[in-house]
Amino acid sequence: MTVLELREVSKSYRLRGFLRQGPELQVLAGVSLSLRRHEILGLVGESGCGKSTLARLALALEKPDQGEFLFLGQPYWRLPRRERRNLRPRLQAVFQDPAASLNPRMRIGDLISEPLRLQGVSREETRDRTLKMMEMVGLPEEALSRFPHQLSGGQRQRVALARALITHPEVVVLDEPTSALDVSVQAQILNLLLDLQHRFGVSYIFISHDLPVVLYLAHRVAVMYLGEIVEMAPAADLEKPGLHPYTELLLASIPGERKKRPVAGEPPSLLRRPYGCVFHPRCPEARPLCQREKPPLRRVSREHFIACHRR
Amino acid sequence: MEGGTLLQVQDLVLGCRGRSYPLVGTVSFGLRAGEIFGLVGESGCGKSLTGLACLALFPSGVKPLSGRVIFRDTDLLSLPEEKRRKFRGRHIGLIFQEPLNALNPVFTVGHQVEEVLELHRGLSGEKARRETVRLFSEVGLPDPELRLRNYPHELSGGMRQRVMIAMALAGDPDLLVADEPTTALDVTVQAQILELFLELRARRGLSILFISHDLAVIREVADRVAVMYAGEIVEEAPREELFSSPLHPYTRALLAAFPRLGTRKLEVLPGQVPPPGTWPRGCRFAPRCPEKIPLCAEKHPELKEIRPHHRVRCLRV
HEC readout, B40-108: ECCCCCCHHHHHHHCCCCCCCCEEEEEEEEEECCEEHHHCCHHHHHHHHHHCEEEECCCHHHHCCCCCC
Q: What is the distance between the alpha carbons of residues B106 and A132, in angstroms, rounded to a whole number?
A: 55
Asked if B266 and A253 come within 8 Å (Cβ–Cβ), the reply is no
* pLDDT at site A262: 60
Angle at B13 between CA B11 and CA B19, to 5 degrees: 160
Nearest chain B residue (CA) to A218: B264
Q: B182: closest CA among B151, B160, B150, B167? A: B160
- Mean pLDDT confidence for A7-19: 87
Give a yes or no: residue A97 inside a domain. yes
User: Looking at A59-68, A98-107, B289-298, which range is the least confident one?
Assistant: A98-107
Of A183, A184, A255, the CB nearest to B190: A255
Instruction: From the options 3.90.850.10, 3.40.630.30, 3.20.20.140, 3.40.50.300, give the CATH code of B5-91+173-312.
Output: 3.40.50.300
Give a yes or no: residue A307 inside a domain. no
* pLDDT at site B1: 38
Give a yes or no: residue A304 inside a domain. no
Give a yes or no: residue A279 inside a domain. no
* pLDDT at site A273: 85
- Tell which wins on pLDDT, B212 or A119: B212
Distance from CA of A234 to the nearest CA of B (A): 14
First and final CA of chain B: distance in angstroms?
Answer: 26
Give the count of domains, chain A: 1
| Lateral strand order in the sheet of A2-16 | A21-36, A2-16, A66-71, A74-75
CATH number of the structural domain spanning residue A102: 3.40.50.300
Q: B95: closest CA among B168, B173, B199? A: B168
Contact residues, chain A, for B157 at CB < 8 Å: 266
Q: What is the distance between the alpha carbons of residues B268 and B257, in angstroms, rounded to a whole number?
A: 6
b/e B277-289 (16+ beta carbons within 10 angstroms → b)? eebeebbbbbebb
Give a yes or no: residue A59 inside a domain. yes
Residue A83's domain comprises 2-218
* 8 Å CB contact between A216 and B266: yes
- CATH 3.40.50.300 intervals, chain B: 5-91+173-312
Q: What is the distance between the alpha carbons of residues A152 and A146, in angstroms, rounded to a whole number?
A: 12
* pLDDT at site B2: 45
Contact residues, chain B, for A184 at CB < 8 Å: 42, 253-254, 257, 268-269, 272-273
Q: B284: closest CA among B268, B262, B302, B309? A: B302
* Chain A interface with B: residues with Cβ < 8 Å: 46-47, 152, 154, 182-188, 190-191, 209-213, 215-216, 239, 249-258, 260-261, 263-264, 266-267
User: Looking at A27-31, A55-59, A259-263, B162-166, which range is the least confident one?
Assistant: A259-263
- Testing the interface with A: which of B139, B161, B187 to mutate, by most A Cβ within 10 A? B187
Is the pLDDT score of A85 beyond 80?
Answer: yes
Asked if A183 and B254 come within 8 Å (Cβ–Cβ), the reply is yes
Mean pLDDT by 10 residues, chain B (317 residues): 79 93 94 96 92 94 95 93 88 87 91 93 92 95 92 90 94 95 90 93 95 94 97 96 96 93 86 89 94 94 95 94
* pLDDT at site A260: 63
